Amino acid sequence: MGRRGRLAHDMTSGTTLFTRRAAIAALASSAAVATAPKSVLAAGLGTGRTDSLGAIAAEKGVVFGASFAVHETAKPQGARYAQLYAREVRSITSELELKMSSLRPAEHILSFDAADGLFDFAATHALAVRGHTLVWNDDVPPWIKALSTKEAGYLMDAHIEAVLERYRGRAAVWDVVNEPIAPWDNRPDNLRAGPFLAAYGIDYIARSFERARRFEPNAKLVLNEAFTETADERGETYRRTLLSILKRLKDQAAPVDAVGLQCHLSSRHPYDFPRFAAFLHEIAALGFEIHLTELDVDDSAFPRLASARDARVAALYRDFLTAALSNTAVTSVTTWQLADHTSWMHYRAVSANADATTAPRPLPFDADFNRKPAWMAIANAFRAMPPR
Ligand code: G3I
């Protein structure tokens, strides 16, 4: 059987062809979930307490959630991590487990073990799942970059089918396409280059949504993008390009339900909240829901003193969410993790300098799972919302 034949077999049937090495890799990944004692994955206080961010947001008709990483449940603080989510959120986003890089680390592996663990945790605690993400021209394993254009197109189609066949009806929302924009790829259309753009051109986006709707008739389908929030040239480029993509998708009657704005805010960039609110109105006027999907604050340019930094982070959450939540098209707010030490910014800082003395503090909970001023700022932004 030739390579294309083998690839076809792997992907159409969604089977996992194990070589010995791949079998070891798959067992290792399943061990990551297996070593998390059942008590950890089952731990929790039931659906949110009345003063949780999830409950406060729900009072105003907004779903509050956070990205979740199954590997965190296998660590010493895994039970407390699990309990924080069980109490505080109504939705979890797969931070790693449903990415192509996690599901297909090698050509003959399609391993759902970690993703199954995430769905099991969500089912145990009655949490909605946001599947992140089916198609992304970044974070693509090297073996996929080595495919021919034709094979990459075939993989994209088969991947959407394989993932949604397995999880049909179990995720409330899917980030169908993530980050289609990348000005640094110097294309006239500002699109992110990559194997799936090469295969189908800009219409890989519409194709992905049409295919996702075919295999998942009920979930909300989202186009997720970064960097639209700032009052600078980059923000303007992203807002203009995203609106152009959305208008094309609307003209194509592509089944896009919502726009995900990642909202990775930063102490290093300027904001013009009325300008951003006007951008939200432009999206809403096109008929799309708006989900804030990866909210956190890079505090690296704020004062080093933790109390001063926490105050500045809280103020930025307050001002940003006050502007964003004034638009009734905004129906969900998701932070990118809940506690500082499990943030991607923490891991990025540690890998850059293991001896760093100033750890990032981007989120509503600190490394001991205590609420920070950011928690109160987010809670008060929900409480201050006009009734919907
Ligand atoms: O778990 C392994 C660890 O065993 C290994 O020692 C270490 C060093 O190689 O890597 C660890 O895996 C890393 C994983 O995060 C868990 O920390 C991966 O290398 C690393 O690539 C991965 O980064 C994730 C990144 O997306 C790429 O998938 C971040 O956690 C995640 O927060 C980030 O999330 C993205 C969204 O998907 C899209 N929007 C931007 C956002 C932030 O970059």
Distance 312 CA to ligand 1 centre (A): 26
pLDDT band at 30 (very low <50, low <70, confident <90, very high): very low
Q: Regarding the domain delimited by 3-13+44-384, which CATH topology (the fold level of the hierarchy) does it fall under? A: TIM Barrel (3.20.20)
pTM of the model: 0.90
Closest CA to 220 of 323, 276, 290: 290
Q: Where are the domains of the chain?
A: 3-13+44-384
Distance 287 CA to ligand 1 centre (A): 33
CB of 236 closer than 6 A to ligand 1?
no
CB of 219 closer than 6 A to ligand 1?
no
CB of 349 closer than 6 A to ligand 1?
no
Distance 350 CA to ligand 1 centre (A): 13
Distance 343 CA to ligand 1 centre (A): 10
Indicate which atom in ligand 1 lies nearest the CA of residue 262: 39
- Dmax over CA atoms of the chain, in Å, equals 63
Report the length, in residues, of the chain: 388
Mutating to test ligand 1, I would choose from 347, 351, 363 the residue with most ligand atoms within 8 A of its C-beta, which is 347
Backbone φ and ψ for 71, nearest 5 degrees, come out as: -65, -25
Nearest CA to ligand 1 atom 18: 96
Nearest CA to ligand 1 atom 22: 96
Matching residue, tokens 């804030």: 292
pLDDT tens, residue by residue, 265-320: 999 999 999 999 999 999 999 999 999 999 999 999 999 999 999 999 999 999 99
Give every CB contact of residue 336 below 8 A, 6+ residues apart in sequence. 66, 67, 95, 262, 264, 294, 295, 296, 343, 344, 362, 363
CB of 139 closer than 6 A to ligand 1?
yes
| Residue 362: strand, helix, or coil | coil
Nearest CA to ligand 1 atom 8: 351
CB of 227 closer than 6 A to ligand 1?
no
3-state secondary structure 287-326: CCEEEEEEEEEECCCCCCCHHHHHHHHHHHHHHHHHHHCC
Distance 22 CA to ligand 1 centre (A): 21
pLDDT tens, residue by residue, 94-125: 999 999 999 999 999 999 999 999 999 999 99
pLDDT band at 50 (very low <50, low <70, confident <90, very high): confident
Indicate which atom in ligand 1 lies nearest the CA of residue 71: 1
d(CA 208, CA 191) in angstroms, rounded, equals 15
CB of 96 closer than 6 A to ligand 1?
yes
Per the DSSP assignment, residues forming a β-bridge with 292 are 261, 333
DSSP secondary structure code for residue 44 in this structure: S
Distance 248 CA to ligand 1 centre (A): 31
d(CA 44, CA 25) in angstroms, rounded, equals 30
CB of 241 closer than 6 A to ligand 1?
no
CB of 95 closer than 6 A to ligand 1?
yes
CB of 344 closer than 6 A to ligand 1?
yes
| Residue 87: CB atoms within 10 Å | 21
Nearest CA to ligand 1 atom 21: 139
Distance 68 CA to ligand 1 centre (A): 12
Q: Which residue would you say has higher pLDDT here, 48 or 135? A: 135
d(CA 367, CA 371) in angstroms, rounded, equals 10
CB of 347 closer than 6 A to ligand 1?
yes
Least confident range from 43-47, 67-71, 79-83, 85-89: namely 43-47
pLDDT tens, residue by residue, 150-201: 999 999 999 999 999 999 999 999 999 999 999 999 999 999 999 999 999 9
